[in-house]
Amino acid sequence: MASRLLKQKRNDKNKLCSLHAPEVECISKGKAHKKYEFGCKVGVATTSKDNFVVGAMVFHGNLYDGHTACEKQTG
């Protein structure tokens, strides 16, 4: 991982952003004061009454938030 880190260039794809957590990615925010953050986007499904977590999913890549959001369903 150290050699990969030293060899990567500014415009390379799939850059290594963190040595202690290689799964993190650079996420572009599109805001002037904070253009980028590092981490992974996750989706969490909870129950409507108790907010009990019933599912979780990691979204890899730099996805648009609207493509990962689920609408609240009433039943």
Which residues make beta-bridge pairs with 55? 45
CA distances from 46 to 36, 41, 53 (A): 28, 17, 4
Cβ(46)–Cβ(53) below 8 Å? yes
Provide the pLDDT for residue 64: 63
Share of the chain above pLDDT 70, in %: 79
* 22 and 46 share one domain: no
* 26 and 52 share one domain: no
How many domains would you assign to the chain?
2
CA distances from 30 to 21, 27, 74 (A): 24, 9, 33
State yes or no: pLDDT of 49 exceeds 70.
yes
Average pLDDT over residues 37-64: 80
* 5 and 30 share one domain: yes
pTM of the model: 0.50
Average pLDDT of the chain is: 76
* 20 and 51 share one domain: no
* 9 and 25 share one domain: yes
* 7 and 21 share one domain: yes
